[in-house]
């Protein structure tokens, strides 16, 4: 009973901290979004997304930035059709994605801590895991790089969100297995890379991490 109570207290505190992180992060991302004109790169995103229909978006995007699938441009096209083409309206899509990414960082933190302590964690440890994950979300919410890319009408905030989801599925696939987790890992890896090719740099880093875990921890796990 005491452990259950402590775990509930930890989780309640983590939930409150996560709400603070989301509120603060959203404020930083949406505050005065239209106060400056579009940059050159943002203007390029506008040109790629402002076609009359999806076919026009695909054609213009292929002319201006060929070699990748225009996932962000199609999403921005639909967003602009609903909310307009002002600076604030265009940037608000990235700001929204960046705010949702705060929650993704929290989930990622929980998954990472569970993967590290799954064999020896009790209920009180699990409560502390949520606190650590909430602190990570708060740091991400106020970190200057994450705030800056979420205030730009460019694809980087979306790519960041896809990468976070991909890593979450990677950790879940390693910890729990299951077809759904492996399918999620495969699908979101492809989506992230299709959004921007720089996302492909994450995959070699993950492979090296898995090899490291296999070489360092697998032998000791087998002997215990």
CA 104, distance to chain mean position in Å, is: 5
Is the confidence at residue 6, as pLDDT, over 50?
A: no
pLDDT reading at 82 higher than 60: yes
Q: Domain residues of the chain, as ranges?
A: 155-224
For residue range 32-45, list pLDDT tens digits in order: 998 889 888 888 88
Q: Which pLDDT score, from 0 to 100, does residue 8 have?
A: 62
The pLDDT assigned to 50 comes to 85
Between residues 125 and 17, the one the model is more confident about = 17
What pLDDT, on the 0 to 100 scale, is given for residue 222? 45
pLDDT of residue 152: 94
Query: What rounded mean pLDDT belongs to the chain?
Result: 87
> For 116-137, what is each residue's pLDDT tens digit?
775 555 555 677 889 999 999 9
Q: Quickly tell me which residue has 């949406």 as its tokens.
A: 30
Condensed to tens digits (0 to 9), the pLDDT of residues 49-70 reads: 888 888 888 888 878 776 678 8
pLDDT at 1: 43
111 CB contacts (<8 Å, ≥6 apart)? Answer: 168, 171, 172, 175
Task: Identify which has the larger pLDDT, 51 or 193.
Answer: 193
Is the Cα dihedral 219, 207, 182, 160 positive or negative? positive
What is the predicted pLDDT for the residue at 118?
57
pLDDT(187) > 90: yes
Q: Give per-residue pLDDT as tens, 133-174.
A: 999 999 999 999 999 999 999 999 999 999 999 999 999 998
What are 20-33's pLDDT values in tens digits?
999 999 999 999 99
Looking at residues 195-213, what average pLDDT do you find?
Answer: 90
DSSP string across 115-161: HHHTTT--HHHHHHHHHHHHHHHHHHHH-HHHHHHHTSSSSHHHHHH
Contact between residue 107 and residue 18 where contact means Cβ atoms under 8 Å apart = no
């Amino acid at each position: 009973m005491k452990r259950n109570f402590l775990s509930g207290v930890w989780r309640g505190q983590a939930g409150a901290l996560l709400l603070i992180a989301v509120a603060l992060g959203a404020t930083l991302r949406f505050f005065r979004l239209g106060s400056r004109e579009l940059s050159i790169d943002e203007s390029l995103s506008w040109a790629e997304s402002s076609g009359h229909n999806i076919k026009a978006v695909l054609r213009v995007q292929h002319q201006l930035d060929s070699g990748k699938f225009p996932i962000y441009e199609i999403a921005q096209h639909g967003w602009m059709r609903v909310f307009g083409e002002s600076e604030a309206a265009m940037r608000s899509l990235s700001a929204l994605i960046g705010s949702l990414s705060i929650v993704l960082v929290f989930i990622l933190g929980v998954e990472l801590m569970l993967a590290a302590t799954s064999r020896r964690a009790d209920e009180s440890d699990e409560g502390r895991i949520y606190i650590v994950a909430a602190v990570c979300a708060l740091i991400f919410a106020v970190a200057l790089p994450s705030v800056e890319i979420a205030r730009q009408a460019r694809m980087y905030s979306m790519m960041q969100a896809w990468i976070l989801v991909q890593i979450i599925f990677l950790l879940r696939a390693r910890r729990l297995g299951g077809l759904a987790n492996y399918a999620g890992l495969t699908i979101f890896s492809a989506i992230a890379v299709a959004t921007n090719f720089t996302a492909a740099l994450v995959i070699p880093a993950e492979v090296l991490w898995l090899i490291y875990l296999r070489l360092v921890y697998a032998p000791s796990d087998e002997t215990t």
